[in-house]
Amino acid sequence: MGPCFVIPERGGAGGIFRVNAKIDGLKDQFLSTNDRTARELAIVCKSALPGEYVEKLILWIAFLRINGGLSVNTVGNYLHGVFNFMLWLETENIKLLDVKSSNIVKWMQYCFITKKDCTKTRGLNLISVRRFYTWVELEGGVINPVRAVQGPKKEKRVPRKYSSDQLKRLFAAPNIKKIIGIRDFAILLFLYSTGARRSEVATLDLSQIELEQRVGTVRFNGKGSKERVLSFEGPAVVALRDWLYVRDTLNVIDDQAVFLGVNGRNKNRRIGFSGLSGVLKRAAKTAGIRGVNDGDLGLHKMRSTYATALYDQGVDIETIRLLMGHDDINTTREYLAITERQIKTRMPTSHLNTLLGQQKELPRYVTNKINY
């Protein structure tokens, strides 16, 4: 039976943190999962933070997972941001419940000037701390000091995608005469054919996929515990079948995992994020494709390539939104790279000739070339 806990009692200075719960049991349950949240919590537990701070974090992530239904990766990101904020508070000798908006502004300046965090990291850190103090306020604590603090403006960049030539070279890179090559080839085709997030590939279970002769169906449990179902076909199905045939010959430890590590500490265990990044790095190196040193960025680039390819095929953006698992259609638009449809859309010559009238003389550059 899992650990039993109740909501902390309220009242008194810092009263919401007078814990009436089996903190140790709750902590052990989180640590036993070996996921992103577990790894971040392990770092917290080994740190020099006061014990009461650690207890607050454990109760908070329990709230996010149980009441909020957030994924382990999202909770892990939030925990990482708040943990680093607490470390900064310790160096500034500021109590957690004494934080004011001015302290938050100073901390953001520290992240920018001293830590040199990028805009995305600073924005995520601020969101994490805001979520934490929203929970504190909900439980009867101090008023959220982050509420009035504005986050850094997000940089707008045109998303990147893989070209058709790069995709051909990536797919040709794995050596399918070896186990690792069979697995890598299946992962690359699966990523491109489904637009899956790296977390969705790493956590994919056998029960989530159904394979017919030439068509496959996958059920993803995406961000915020949202489920979506999509299909894929052709070579991606064949490659996945080939991998599953080889997988069944291995001494599998995580018996439900679709994709496994084939060497190192994760051998025969569920593949991790670093393992997925390694798949793309290995293929890019063999294919001679530069600029894929950051494996996570490369994996995300594959997701953008998937969305752009669908758009070029005439799929409407609302359907793409559903396939990508986005709540907001504007998020889907951010994934569309420079598309063939966009490149081919231009002002027609016939319209310009109508406005300018019939051109009777040769263009000047042609006349000069003839005279020369």
User: How does 71-96 read in b/e, with b if 16+ C-beta sit within 10 Å?
Assistant: bbbbbbbbbbbbbbbbebbeeeebeb
Exposed/middle/buried for 24, CB within 10 Å: 0-12, 13-18, 19+? exposed
Lowest mean pLDDT among 75-89, 195-209, 297-311, 328-342: 328-342
3-state SS record for 276-306: HHHHHHHHHHHHCCCCCCCHHHHHHHHHHHH
pLDDT over 90 at 51, yes or no: no
Helix (H) or strand (E) holding 138: helix 119-138
Quick one: average pLDDT of 356-365?
Answer: 64
Exposed/middle/buried for 371, CB within 10 Å: 0-12, 13-18, 19+? exposed
DSSP SS3 for 147: coil
pLDDT digits (tens, 9 = 90+) for 226-248: 788 999 999 999 999 999 999 99
| Helix 72-92 × helix 51-66 angle, to 10° | 150
CATH code of the region 164-343: 1.10.443.10
Task: Give the list of residues 6+ apart from residue 208 with CB closer than 8 angstroms, or none.
Answer: 218, 219, 220, 221, 258
Length of the chain, in residues: 372
**Contact in structure between 38 and 32 (CB atoms under 8 Å):** yes
Quick one: average pLDDT of 26-33?
Answer: 82
Q: In what order do the strands lie in the sheet with 209-211?
A: 209-211, 215-221, 227-233
Residue 17 pLDDT: 35
Residue 168 pLDDT: 93
Residue 140 pLDDT: 80
Q: How far apart are CA 58 and CA 4, in angstroms?
A: 14
Residue 343 pLDDT: 65
pLDDT over 60 at 294, yes or no: no
Residue 167 pLDDT: 92
Task: Give the list of residues 6+ apart from residue 211 with CB closer than 8 angstroms, or none.
Answer: 237, 240, 241, 244
pLDDT over 90 at 35, yes or no: no
Largest CA distance in the chain: 94
Quick one: average pLDDT of 292-318?
Answer: 80
Lowest mean pLDDT among 75-79, 315-319, 352-356: 352-356
Domain ranges (residues) in the chain: 15-138, 164-343
**Contact in structure between 303 and 335 (CB atoms under 8 Å):** yes
**Contact in structure between 56 and 82 (CB atoms under 8 Å):** no
pLDDT digits (tens, 9 = 90+) for 3-21: 333 333 333 333 333 344 4
pLDDT digits (tens, 9 = 90+) for 282-291: 999 998 887 6
pLDDT over 50 at 139, yes or no: yes
- Tokens coding 360: 């009777």
Radius of gyration for the alpha carbons in the chain, expressed in angstroms and rounded: 26
- Residue 339 DSSP one-character state: -
Residue 369 pLDDT: 54
Within its chain, how far is the Cα of 146 from the centroid?
25
Residue 342 pLDDT: 67
Quick one: average pLDDT of 305-317?
Answer: 88
**Contact in structure between 286 and 173 (CB atoms under 8 Å):** yes
Mean pLDDT value across the chain: 83
pLDDT over 60 at 44, yes or no: yes
**Contact in structure between 139 and 181 (CB atoms under 8 Å):** no
What is the sign, positive or negative, of the torsion defined by CA atoms of 181, 187, 193, 195?
negative
pLDDT over 50 at 108, yes or no: yes
DSSP SS3 for 153: coil
pLDDT digits (tens, 9 = 90+) for 145-202: 998 888 887 766 666 788 889 999 999 999 999 999 999 999 999 999 999 988 899 9
